[in-house]
Amino acid sequence: MKRFLAFAAAMLVLLAASGCAMRAGADLLKAPKPDKDNQAITDELELLKGWDGVYTTPYAGTNRNAVQMKDLDGDGIEEVVAFFQTPKGGNRFETVVLGKRDEAYVQLGSIAGTGTQINSVSYPILDKTGRCGILICWQQVSESENRFSLAVCTGGQVRTLLEGAYSSILPADLDSDGAQELVVLNVPEGGRSTATIYEYDAAADAMNLAGEAPLSGVAKVIYKVAAGYIADRQPAVFAEERIEGGAGRQTDIFVYSQTDGLRNLALETESGQGKSTYRAVAVNAYDVNGDGMTEIPRAVRMVGSESGAADAAYMLDWYLYSAGAEPAYVMTTYRNVSQGWDFTISKAWHDAVRAVKGTENGSEYTCFVIFDPEGDDIPLLTVYYLLGEENRRTLDSADGMILLGSTSTATIAARIPAAASGSSLALTEEQVKERFSLVADDWNAPLS
């Protein structure tokens, strides 16, 4: 009993910290007193959860409280969404939705599910009136059997409109009409990998299948799914995948319109086999030039690395995909994947310069050299990756070091070797700084 009271008290704190604390204005100026809403909510939930139910929290995502406040039907009043496991340690879950009626909170409905835990909960915007769905993802023992439920709250009732299996799932407004669609990716073991898109139909109060498109046939594991933009700032969903027997990455790019349905642009170019986005290096799609649109890299062997050498050095040709045209070349960079930086490779450098990695006085370096198959390579630029304080001091005391950037663990600096002077491919300090950039953690911005 003691533990129960402590937990109930903790729940009140939790509620105060989540929804209610966010109510700004007059509420905050009133003298402190027990919030009547919180008490009513807690009382009602205690009744509903039963003697063997316990509160549970979503494992991942941005909404991780056991009790969440969200205006689901767009009427300006928040509903309460609470997550229970019944019984504790079991595999059954119940999501209860409460609505405010005068001073009381009453149950509007519940969403049942089974699994090992609730993976995540989100609230896709289903129409322009501000109606939100409740999207619950349930973790199963075998990840390939994960399931989701999408429920809505209409007319004071909660109904589950859609359930199914998923490998990855993402709400995104792909046709820019102000309402989010639901994009569900499935990579079943031994089966056909597909993406499906569902759209909310307010008149029918239903989630309708709006389109389907295959993933690239060789897709094996989806690493990451995110929304971003292709050419002309058209919204798209990017799925980063590993393929069978390949260490690199490929990207499937999904776009949607009412007229053309769901399309996978990675399947529509060149070979038609979806191989056009595969690259032998593990680099995700990325907004490489910072214009808000996401480019896809193609790995190109640097000069001197053509013949399948084990230490082959790659650079990346970045392409912007388009719904109505072939991909357009944007730029080329050398990407140091482990150190997290890009260096722009100019046209003049493209077929003349390669990168050589090594270690000097305990510091890793990357040297760009003019490749000479007959004689000695001519060094043009050395980029140092300096870890820790001591190396920072080395940097401070060294002549001719150009500071390029720093991360939480390392400082990155460069030196132009004396041997570079006189080469038409040599860079000035200013050019070196211009061409260097740290790779942002987030590989593209979420759709706003």
Q: Which long-range contacts does 157-165 make (Cβ < 8 Å, 24+ apart)?
A: 157/108, 157/109, 158/97, 158/108, 158/109, 158/110, 158/111, 158/134, 159/109, 159/205, 160/111, 161/133, 161/200, 161/205, 161/206, 161/207, 162/198, 162/207
Stretch that binds Ca ion, among 171-179, 236-244, 398-406, 420-428 (CB under 5 A): 171-179
CB nearer to Ca ion: give 85 or 444. 444
Q: Establish if 143 lies at the interface with Ca ion (CB under 5 A).
A: no
Count of residues in contact with Ca ion, rule CB under 5 A: 12
Interaction residues for Ca ion, span 377-396 (CB under 5 A): none
DSSP string for 163-185: EEE-SEEEEE-TT-SSS-EEEEE
- Per the omega criterion (within 30 degrees of 0), is the bond before 87 cis? yes
d(CA 245, CA 139): 27
The smaller minimum CB distance to Ca ion, of residues 240 and 287, is found at 287
What track of x and - describes contact with Ca ion for positions 67 through 96 (by CB under 5 A)?
Answer: ----x-x-x-x-------------------
The reply on whether position 344 binds Ca ion by CB under 5 A is no
CB closer to Ca ion out of 253 and 313: 253
Residues from 223 through 242 that contact Ca ion (CB under 5 A)? none
The rounded distance, in Å, linking the Cα atoms of 153 and 200 is 13
Asked if 35 interacts with Ca ion (CB under 5 A), we say no
Taking the complex as a whole, the smallest distance from the CB of residue 73 to Ca ion amounts, in Å, to 5
Given candidates 43, 232, 270, 291, which one binds Ca ion under the rule CB under 5 A? 291
Residue with smaller CB distance to Ca ion, 75 or 201? 75
Residue span binding Ca ion (CB under 5 A) among the ranges 142-150, 289-297, 352-360, 377-385: 289-297
Closest contact distance (angstroms) between CB of 295 and Ca ion is 5
**Per CB under 5 A, which region of 58-66, 124-132, 244-252, 288-296 contacts Ca ion?**
288-296
Report if residue 342 touches Ca ion, rule: CB under 5 A.
no
Contact call for residues 368 and 350 (beta carbons, < 8 A): no
Instruction: Give the span between the Cα atoms of 215 and 218, in whole angstroms.
Output: 8
End-to-end CA distance of the chain: 46
Cα Rg for the chain, rounded, in angstroms? 27
DSSP H or E run through 14:
helix 2-17
CA dist 440 → 165, 284, 318, 340, 387 (Å): 32, 12, 16, 8, 19
When the beta carbons of 335 and 354 are compared against Ca ion, the nearer one is 335
Work out whether 175 is an interface residue with Ca ion (CB under 5 A): yes
CB nearer to Ca ion: pick between 229 and 349: 229
Compare residues 287 and 411 and give the one whose CB is closer to Ca ion. Answer: 287
Residues 292-321 binding Ca ion (CB under 5 A) are 293
Pick the binder of Ca ion from 98, 158, 179, 395 (CB under 5 A). Answer: 179
Rounded to a whole number of angstroms, the minimum distance from the CB of residue 126 to Ca ion is 9
From the list 35-43, 128-136, 167-175, 227-235, the region that binds Ca ion by CB under 5 A is: 167-175
Of the candidates 61, 218, 243, the residue with the CA atom closest to the CA atom of residue 134: 61
CA 286 to chain centre: 11
Of 146 and 444, CB closest to Ca ion: 444
Residues 6+ apart with CB under 8 A from 136: 95, 111, 113, 118, 120, 121, 148, 149, 150, 151
Give 71 or 145: the residue with its C-beta nearer to Ca ion: 71
CB of 219 to Ca ion, least distance (A): 24
Of the candidates 88, 102, 93, 97, the residue with the CA atom closest to the CA atom of residue 155 = 97
* Shortest distance, position 274 Cβ to Ca ion, whole Å: 22
Distance CA(168)–CA(410), nearest Å, equals 34
Among 252, 287, 317, 342, binds Ca ion (CB under 5 A): 287
What sign does the dihedral 335-336-340-343 (CA atoms) show? negative
- C-beta of 291: minimal distance to Ca ion in Å? 4
Tokens of 396: 């401070």
Question: Is residue 46 within 8 Å of 7, Cβ to Cβ?
Answer: no
Establish if 173 lies at the interface with Ca ion (CB under 5 A). Answer: yes
- Please give the C-alpha separations between residue 158 and each of 107, 131, 199, 351, in angstroms, as whole numbers: 9, 12, 18, 62
Contact between 201 and Ca ion by CB under 5 A: the answer reads no
CB nearer to Ca ion: pick between 252 and 295: 295
Q: Which position among 177, 260, 372, 434 is part of the footprint of Ca ion (CB under 5 A)?
A: 177
Q: Which residue, 287 or 342, is less far from Ca ion as judged by CB?
A: 287
Interface residues with Ca ion (CB under 5 A) are: 71, 73, 75, 77, 173, 175, 177, 179, 287, 289, 291, 293
